[in-house]
Amino acid sequence: MDKYPAISIILITYNRGYCIDRAIKSVINQTYQDWELLIVDNNSEDDTDFVVNSFKDPRISLYKINNEGIIAKSRNFGIKHALGKYIAFLDSDDWWDKEKLSISIKYLNKNYDIVYHDLFKITTLKDEMSFFKKTVKARDLQKPIFIDLLLNGNGLTQSSVVVSKDLLNKVGGYSEKLDLITAEDYQVWLEIAKFSDNFKYIPYTLGFYWHGLDNLTSPKKTIVSIKALQKIYAKELQLYGVPGWMYYSFARSFLLLNDYKKSSKYALSAMIKHKSTYIKLKAFATWLEAKYKQLIT
């Protein structure tokens, strides 16, 4: 490689040999070609190596790591080895539209530090061809960005983000704390927002987010992560109050854990605290479901 690439793409994986080629092809097919792809593999036991090595592109590098179940370690490993000015993240079961990097770099060149966009939500491969695709909506964050993120929750999806490497290094990368597993991406956006308000929501849907049965977050981990965030940002939460989205996340998680008493309690708090009518309605539906299941069990 004669010069450093503009964008380093970090793709972390484990036992995704059956689908990682789709993600890699979506990178190779980008209209913007000034990139490197760092694949950080958590010692897969399937045919991941064979699939990756079948791509004879010098811009693609395969690294091995034992992340001990902490995905943040793999992301930080990739950041450490990245040569680009900007870092893009792509999960191994997601994939991009061919214009994703081209459009992202145009906004980054306008002095934004981090850009992100919507993604199509895919649960079966047939969904990709459907005219009526569901969308994972990002949020057009309002300044101050830190306060918006804190009070309204995560507005960015990992596989949509391209961010300044300098800023990632400034905040120390992703937290590798066990109690932040599932929330490490949200926390790093919060930390970046302490230094920069130059976040830009790109109003296009530029990729596909896989939401199959193998990509579900444990409700127990969600509860632990939110409690950890409450400790980290205790001063700010004391000032602004615990936001409604946290109560709603607790309500959904306890519902899945069959703790209907706690679920109804937090759903009620979410209805009172959350500003969004949509979330209030979802919290009300959760409250009704929890109350009904309390009655029949």
Is residue 125 scored above 80 in pLDDT? Answer: no
Q: State the maximum Cα–Cα separation within the chain, in Å, rounded to a whole number.
A: 68
Q: What is the pLDDT of residues 239-263, one digit of tens each?
A: 999 999 999 999 999 999 999 999 9
Over 70: is that where the pLDDT of 114 sits?
A: yes
User: What does the alpha-carbon distance between residue 73 and residue 53 come to, in Å, rounded to a whole number?
Assistant: 23
Beta bridge partners of 64: 41
| Residues 207-215, mean pLDDT to the nearest whole number | 77
Q: Is the pLDDT of residue 90 over 60?
A: yes
Predicted local confidence at residue 285, as pLDDT? 97
Give the rounded distance of the alpha carbon of 134 from its chain centre.
17
Decide if 87 contacts 79 (C-beta within 8 A).
yes
Q: Which of 137, 156, 158 is closest to 215 using CA atoms? A: 158
Q: Is residue 132 over pLDDT 70?
A: no
Nearest Cα to Cα of residue 207 among 102, 54, 108, 278: 102
Confidence of residue 130 (pLDDT cuts 50, 70, 90): low
Mean of the per-residue pLDDT values of the chain: 94
Residue 44, pLDDT above cutoff 90: yes
pLDDT value of position 1: 45
